[in-house]
Amino acid sequence: MSKVGIIIEREFMTRVKNKQFIILTLLGPLLISLVVIVPLLIGMFNDDNQTIWVDDQSGLFVNEFQSTTGLTFLPLEAGGVDWQDSLKNAENTGMLVIPEQFDLYKPEGFTYYSTNPLGVGAKDNITSTIRNRIEAIKLQESGLSKSFIDSLKSKVSIETFKLTETGVENSSTNASTGLGFAGAFVMYLFIFIYGTMVLRGVVEEKSNRIMEVMVSSVRPFEMMLGKILGIAAVGLLQFTLWILLSFGIITVAQSALSPDTQQEIVAANAETRGVGMLDPEVQAEVAASQEDMGLSFIDELKTVNLPYFVGMFLFYFLTGYLLYAALFAAVGSAVDNETDTQQLLFPITVPIIIAIIVAQMVIQNPTSGVAFWFSMIPLTAPIVMIVRIPFGVPGWELALSMVLMIGGFLFTTWIAARIYRIGVLMYGKKVSLKEIGKWLFYR
């Protein structure tokens, strides 16, 4: 095996066998899937049913409060029992008192009694029910019918199409935005996490004085290359495991929740979002539209070429990582310990942060000049280009950017190698950027 191969093997194996890596690799997908699953579960297990007695002294709200999942409204029978005492002993029970008289134009005097505080959702539900009812009464007084008012509300949706040379494609702004930004963010994280890993590795070798032994066996360039490639392999493994495990967990969790429960949950979500007080028809419509949205997002996702996106992501991740990892390695070689890295890391972190800021602008307008230029500059291209890809990027732009990426990482690797070979043997000296600049021209 070549020396670089031996180094790659060590860098890879020591990290993969590390407990931290194993925990993070397993925890990552769990966190990702939790984001998807938890809302479902909350809907499912939220059986902490709260009962609210409604003492409607005004008589205006008969049958207005609709019970929803987790929230039951019951009219209080006339003939005041000593409800305050019974409330004290009851859990999850409250009493809403609507005064006999209140000003429609300045509604006040509504009170709620309970041993436990009123939840935000329940509070929203109550206030919007009261508000809707008051509005309805006002409408009645003004002589306009509710159906007329409803007919005034118009629902507008825009279906976007993209004109291409081959014809018209259904384009999907939602999915593109989501995918692009998620991709950019993951790219940003990965470059930082693995770049820092390279930095730490180099600093470790230097501060533990392993360098001198190593450097007499292998050329510094081989050492640097082995480390960077070994950690790249760790990154790819982690990325692949995350994707596979996340999909696995989500699929399992989804099949565990039967379609029926899913329906229920969608409906329940719709209700808790405050649709409950609308007419049953409207309710159904809203629920349907929400389901639509969920479905259409998946449909939209299908219109994006996922394998192409993943392929591009991998290309930009690899080249972007290689580009930055070389710079991180150079910084690591120039310092004696990790605390000295801050000042030298600054010029490296700035472009990454600029890229993530630009990415947010590019999302608004993926074909702007800013988008073009920042997806050409190799330092920002991995993040900015990945935002643009789901929206479609002209072939020549992509090709140019990819060529520039490859050139870019070769260039930074060359620079880093020159800094590294001097830096690794330089001890006890705090170096400045200017000093490092000089190293580039040493023989």
Site residues, another protein (CB under 8 A): 1, 3, 6-7, 10, 14, 204-205, 208-210, 212-219, 425, 427
Closer to another protein by CB, 293 or 433: give it. Answer: 433
- Min dist CB 428 to another protein, Å, is 10
H/E run at residue 411:
helix 395-423
3, 84, 318, 338, 405 from 226: Cα distances, Å? 8, 75, 15, 21, 20
Of the pair 5, 117, the CB lying nearest another protein is at 5
Shortest reach from residue 18's CB to another protein, in Å: 8
371 vs 424, which CB is nearer to another protein?
Answer: 424
Decide if 175 contacts 301 (C-beta within 8 A): yes
In the bound state with another protein, the residue whose beta carbon lies nearer, of 14 and 116, is 14
Cβ–Cβ under 8 Å, residues 362 and 371: yes
For residue 160, what are its two tokens? Answer: 């976007």
Nearest residue (CB) to another protein, 2 versus 147: 2
297 vs 292: CA distance, rounded Å: 8
Q: At what angle do helices 173-207 and 381-388 cross, to 10 degrees?
A: 160
Report the nearest approach of another protein to the CB of residue 202 (Å): 13
Task: Find all residues with CB under 8 Å of 441, minimum gap 6, and list them.
Answer: none
Q: Under 8 Å CB-to-CB from 40, ≥6 apart: which residues?
A: 253, 257, 262, 265
What region does 392 belong to: left with phi over 0, alpha with psi -120 to 50, or beta?
left
Pick 14 or 111: Cβ nearer another protein: 14
Least Å distance, CB 9 to another protein, is 9
Smaller CB separation from another protein, 1 or 156: 1
- Least Cβ distance, residue 332 to another protein (angstroms): 15
Reading the block at residue 267, the tokens are 């409906």
Partnered with residue 111 across adjacent β-strands are 97
Nearest residue (CB) to another protein, 215 versus 301: 215
Which stretches of 50-204 are assigned E, i.e. beta strand?
Answer: 50-56, 71-75, 93-98, 111-114, 161-164, 167-170
Q: Which of 151, 132, 128 is nearest to 140 (CA)?
A: 132
CA 360/CA 387 separation, integer angstroms = 9
Minimum distance from residue 417 beta carbon to another protein (Å):
15
Task: List the helix and strand counts (H, then E) for the chain.
Answer: 16, 6
Q: How far is the CB of 422 from another protein (least distance, A)?
A: 9
Considering the complex, state which of residue 388 and residue 421 has its C-beta at the smaller distance from another protein. 421
What do you get for the CA distance between the two ends of the chain, in Å? Answer: 30
CB nearer another protein, residue 19 or residue 155 = 19
CB of 210 to another protein, least distance (A): 5
By beta-carbon proximity to another protein, the closer residue of 151 and 216 is 216
CB of 203 to another protein, least distance (A): 12
Burial of residue 397, with CB atoms counted within 10 A of its CB: 0-12 exposed, 13-18 middle, 19 or more buried: middle
Task: Determine the Cα–Cα distance for residues 392 and 367; give it in Å rounded to an integer.
Answer: 9
Alpha-carbon 173 to chain mean position: 17
Place of tokens 């070798």: 205
Specify whether the CB–CB gap between 332 and 206 falls below 8 A: yes
